[in-house]
Structure 1
Amino acid sequence: MRPEEEPEYQTPPTCDLLSLLLRNRRPTGAVNEVWPNLYIGDAATAQDKSLLVNLRITHVVNAADGVQHIDTGPLFYSDTNILYHGVEAADRKDFDLGPFFTETADFIHGALSHKGKVLVHCARGISRSATLVLAFLMIKERLTLIDAVQTVRQHRNVLPNVGFLNQLRHLDSSLALQRRTT
């Protein structure tokens, strides 16, 4: 088969994504660098300002923002130089995280392009935060969903809920369509 005849990329079904996410799981810590200067972590990491300073974190994305979740916010970090972006998301399969994909990807991209270090967290650093990082890798780094999952999984066990996986599948399909038409 010649290169111009390669089959078009197809967004994988949810069951294949789950299989990939559950394969070869091993213990991962509270915080892991999953892309250069991009970290996924849990709530305890986000609330440990001395750890954030030691990691040289300059930006925090809280994917579980709000008083009902992990109430850090810009005021919590006011005695540091950390810039904050909050997403008030519930870790439920019926919660639509899609509307936050682009704004969060823009925030992360802006931080990284100015030599910053970004922590993206939720309660456990597994579902909401992972979903936003995967969306960033797809939107800004032009990775397919499979490539993004494989990249993150090299450094951290993540498991977005099935609703978030379907939202990432939708994003993957629309980005693949854009790549084909440009």
Structure 2
Amino acid sequence: EIVTGVYLGGYEEADSFGLLADIGITHVLNCAPVNSHASGVVPFPGELRLRGYLEIAAEDIEGYDITQHFTTAFEFIANAMDDGGKVLVYCAKGRNRSAAVCVGYLMNCWKVTLATAVKQVSAVRGRILTNTSFVKQLYELDK
């Protein structure tokens, strides 16, 4: 949990339906490409009683503009929070795409600096943002 109600993970966590139910996840933001669901993560089982699901087809490659998804992602997270929900934001490993969204969300919605956001997210998730172009884009937002 990076802030109240917002959780960051990878396919492993997204595939742990029992854990998601125990936490009370109500909304899922999938930051992995639509065609990469070899693990069978989607669709989520009905017993999770999800109130919202959003997929953004982000790519974890150098030079990819992750910020193009920020407005949609931030609105989804904010709406879930307004609805009293809990959101899982995930991608393949929870390291780049979903971490960039979470860091950007903290910067945009919680009005913290890039350094503070990275520190907060990495304290929960460990090694994040190995995609240097995502870091550069977040740095530009921090100016």
Q: Matched residues, percent identical? A: 34
CA distance in 2 between partners of 1:154 and 1:77 (Å): 28
CA distance in 1 between partners of 2:127 and 2:30 (Å): 16
Structure 1 residue 89 and structure 2 residue 58: aligned?
yes
Specify the SS of the correspondent of 1:61: strand
Structure 1 residue 153 and structure 2 residue 127: aligned?
no
Q: Given the two structures, how large is their TM-score scaled by the length of structure 2?
A: 0.88
Deviations 1:53-106 (A, max 9, x none): 111001111110311356645xx1361321111111111112111110111011
Q: Which structure is larger by alpha-carbon Rg, 1 or 2?
A: 1
Structure 1 residue 77 and structure 2 residue 44: aligned?
yes
- Matching residue of 1:30: none
Runs (4 or more) in structure 1 with deviation over 6 Å come to none
- RMSD (Å) for aligned C-alpha atoms: 1.7
- 1:36 maps to amino acid: T
Q: Given the two structures, how large is their TM-score scaled by the length of structure 1?
A: 0.70
CA distance in 2 between partners of 1:37 and 1:123 (Å): 21
Structure 1 residue 171 and structure 2 residue 141: aligned?
yes
- Any unmatched runs of 5+ in structure 2? none
CA distance in 2 between partners of 1:68 and 1:150 (Å): 29
Structure 1 residue 102 and structure 2 residue 71: aligned?
yes
